[in-house]
Structure 1
Amino acid sequence: MKRVRGTGRGSVYTPSDFLDVATRTAVDQALSRLVKSGKLRRLARGLYDYPKIHSQLGPLSPAPDDVAQALARETGSQVQIAGARAANALGLTTQVPAKSTYLTDGPSRRVVLGKRVVDLRHASPKHLIAPGSPAGTVVQALRHVGQVRAADVAQVAAHRLSPSDKHTLATSAYQAPAWMRSTLVSIATAGAPGSDG
């Protein structure tokens, strides 16, 4: 519980987050006790959170990103937000999708949290470009909106990405589908010395 309090309310865990403290059996028993006492909440099999509490609404749902990160930590895999969620993260859409889709190099898994769904889908390396980074989010947003709105993505991403994220984008652009590459390169070079951005 000391570690849980240290990470703060809203944090999401799997038993593997505590295996440096005790054996798997002991960790499972401790988590079970903490759920029974109401200190932690069990979200799904092997998935727990220390919920934020709202004065009127009571315990709040965890952030989908935190759920995805916890599942990825357990399998030692990487995750990347994808689809409508990536477009929303960049501010290209105001719609918050009920289903949060993530691509992962680990196993596929779906967790239902009330009305929201966190969906981890196993993807091949060519679909996981710069996973877990803002550059990776740009690639996924571009894939979601398509060639028609590529200029919109470029405009937003050119201002949003830090120089190091732009560098990541430039070095991984070759992995992207051919239609995306010129857009990714233009984002990566926007505002760079020698450009008029």
Structure 2
Amino acid sequence: MASIEDNILTAIQAKGRGSIFFPSDFTSYGEVKAVGKSLERLTAKGDIVRLARGIYLYPEIDTVLGLGVLMPSIEQIAETIARRDKARIVPTGIYAMNKLGLSTQVPMNVVYLTDGAPRKVSLGNGRSIQFKYTTPRNLAFTNPLAMLVTFALKEVGKDNVTEDIIKRIKSVLQKERKENILADEALMPAWIRNITRKAYE
């Protein structure tokens, strides 16, 4: 008879390399403690990688360039957690600016607003993901780009918006249809609404 560990490994392999998973994905195979022990053993053998407490990776291995284990981006980890929690998330602060090309700084601690549970996930090497609770209204955007632009500009601050930033926002927004962005206008502060409207003039 296959052990819990064998069953878990088979299930992980079926998900494919690069997939991120949680102990709760395997509760049908045995008790929480037994599942935890099996994941510990698979980590010790090098079959899987522990990304953070209760978060594991079936790693992609780069054999071409010899880079070894390819780690997922902070964004991939955050999105997997959000899917599990059936929560919505939006990047804020420096990370939102970085994603739009308004900042070259890559933060070690990425902050997302969420309508799910607030928590901090430590990824080691000083890196972390923080989920801060916000009202669902803040996440009611229908367009992800409109949401990202809004939170990035909030981080910049009304008085610090330069011509360069406006140019950058304009070039990003022009890849998206005007009506898709303006559908979310009601959720934007007036000064951000002015910037997004001007981008289409």
Amino acid of the structure 2 residue aligned with 1:178: A
Contact kept? 1:83, 1:141, Cα under 8 Å: yes
What are the within-5 Å matches in structure 2 for residues 131-146 of structure 1? 133-146=144-157
2: CA distance, partners of 1:47 / 1:70: 10
Query: Deviation digits for residues 117-164 of structure 1, max 9, x if unmatched?
Result: 111111123433538822221111111111221654442233224335
Range that drifts further, 175-184 or 62-71: 175-184
Q: Please, what TM-score do these two structures have when normalized by structure 2?
A: 0.75
1:173 to 179, 185, 195: 185
Report the AA paired with residue 186 of structure 1.
K
What's 1:89 paired with? 99
Change (3 A) 1:177 1:186: same
2:22 to 8, 14, 21: 14
Report if the CA contact (8 A) 2:88-2:116 is conserved: yes
SS state of the match for residue 181, structure 1?
Answer: helix
Residues 127 and 66 (structure 1), Cα distance of their counterparts in 2 relative to 1, 3 Å cut = same
Task: Tell me: CA distance 1:32–1:121, structure 2 relative to 1, closer, same or farther (3 Å).
Answer: same
Q: Pick the structure with greater CA Rg.
A: 2
Q: Is the Cα contact below 8 Å between 1:18 and 1:27 reproduced in 2?
A: yes
Indicate conservation of the 8 Å contact 1:78/1:131, yes or no: no
Post-superposition shift, 1:15? 3.6
Query: SS in structure 2 opposite 1:102?
Result: strand
Tell me by how many angstroms 1:49 deviates.
1.4
Structure 2 counterpart of 1:40? 48
The separation in 2 between residues aligned to 1:18 and 1:167, in whole angstroms, is: 43
TM-score, length-scaled by structure 1: 0.76
In structure 1, what is the Cα distance between the partners aligned to 2:109 and 2:133? 16
> Partner of 1:107 in structure 2?
117
Instruction: Give per-residue Cα distances to partners, 1:76-125, cap 9 Å, x unaligned.
Output: 10111110001011111111111111111101111122221111111123
SS at match of 1:103: strand
Per-residue deviation at 1:23? 6.7
Structure 1 vs Structure 2 CA RMSD: 3.1
Q: Which residue matches 2:139? A: 128
Conserved in 1, the CA contact under 8 Å of 2:95 and 2:110? yes
Is this contact kept in 2: 1:8–1:50, CA < 8 A? yes
Q: Give the number of equivalent residue pairs.
A: 187
1:183 maps to 195
